[in-house]
Amino acid sequence: MARRQASTVRVLFSYAFDYVVLVTLIAIWGYISTLPPNFSRFSLTDITLQYPIATPETISYPLACILSIVLPAGIVALWSIFIDLFRYRSSFRTRLWELNCGILGLALSITLTLVITTSLKGIVGRPRPDVIDRCQPAVDSTDAKPYGLSTVDICTQPNRSVLEEGWRSWPSGHSSTAFAGLFYMSLYFAGKLSLYDNKGEVWKTVIVMFPTLGAAAIAASRVLDHRHHGTDVFSGSLIGAATAWLAYRLYFPSLHDTAREGRAWSIRSWGERNVSATETNGHDGVDAVSLSREDEVRVDVEIGEFRRRPTSSSPYEPPSYRGLPAAGGGGGYSSEDGTKVPPSSSTNGSSRMRLDDNSKGSGSENPFRSSIE
């Protein structure tokens, strides 16, 4: 029977496409960032738009990138290369596999968030709370009549970049990026620490929530600096958390699947090829095993090969007994033909069990099938 064998080259090629997609998303984000936003109308008398430009910011954009992207990437690398070595004594190739999936998930979360957030900023063009200070309208400027709204035409700001940033309020980029990176880190910790293992260990919860708390602090700083409205921050946080969950589940199992201890999914089908039994001399070696999707929770993965854990994928079949307790009691058992068997027929008052002959030597039969003498 043909089996499926993982090829190292095909595995690397299949995941190289993921990196190509990520680079493409970064290029799209870079292009969108150069486009001017939609300059929505605003009112000069709106007090929510009259805040001064905060200089310097509480958390600058470079610092936010370090905290939301560089720091999580470093933790993923540290955990995959060193901590997994002491926890599982896994090979270096296996740890590289975990690193690959962890970095891919984080990168996908960040790039998706950047593209979505930047696109929405330009399409909506909501004014920031400091838009009037950025606009620098003339002293005698007033809102247009009869609707009472002004346009960007009244602005005298010579710096075009500063002016355009005034109309990129919704959603918050700091908030979405922070949650895309740090909430992903919380999910990563929750999986690795088996948070939902029904043990209720508080220290795990503290570790898991710490990155999310950091993301919330970054998001809150945008309101304190009057760079965003509260709804901007809330919406950006939701976008970042949603993309983080999506990216994490693409490469890692559910947090409730504590048996896997947060280890990445096995290699995808692109890295497999069909091989016949003659290529493996009829043996089920570690390089050629037939796996179903249900077997995902019972395998450890190394690049280019599957390794089966010592568990069976055969469905459980309860033991079948030749004799059943007699209805109405009486201290004995009824055989299959209805004959009453007294308790004295068993040694020391207990029933002795004998394995059926047809249960021996066959992996498809239940080895626990027995009969009562």
Question: Catalytic: which of 226, 228, 229, 256?
Answer: 228
Pick the closest to residue 113 from 123, 105, 124 (CA basis). Answer: 105
Q: Give yes or no: 226 in active site.
A: no
Question: Are 265 and 253 a contacting pair, CB within 8 Å?
Answer: yes
Structure tokens at 57: 């910011």
Pick the closest to residue 229 from 119, 130, 122, 129 (CA basis). Answer: 129
Can you say whether the dihedral through the CA atoms of 202, 208, 214, 219 is positive or negative?
negative
Rounded distance, CA 221 to CA 234, Å? 12
Structure tokens at 356: 């059926």
Q: Give yes or no: 229 in active site.
A: no
- How many other CB atoms sit within 10 Å of the CB of residue 17? 10
- How many other CB atoms sit within 10 Å of the CB of residue 13? 12
Rounded distance, CA 179 to CA 222, Å? 14
What 364-371 contacts at long range (C-beta under 8 Å, 24+ apart), as own/partner pairs, is 364/314, 366/317, 366/319, 368/319, 369/317, 369/319, 369/320, 370/319, 370/320, 370/321, 371/320, 371/321, 371/322, 371/323
Question: Catalytic: which of 174, 226, 256, 283?
Answer: 174
Structure tokens at 171: 């959603």
Structure tokens at 3: 């089996």
Can you say whether the dihedral through the CA atoms of 113, 118, 121, 123 is positive or negative?
negative
Measure Cα distances from 300 to 75, 153, 266 in Å.
22, 62, 7
Q: Which residues are catalytic?
A: 174, 228
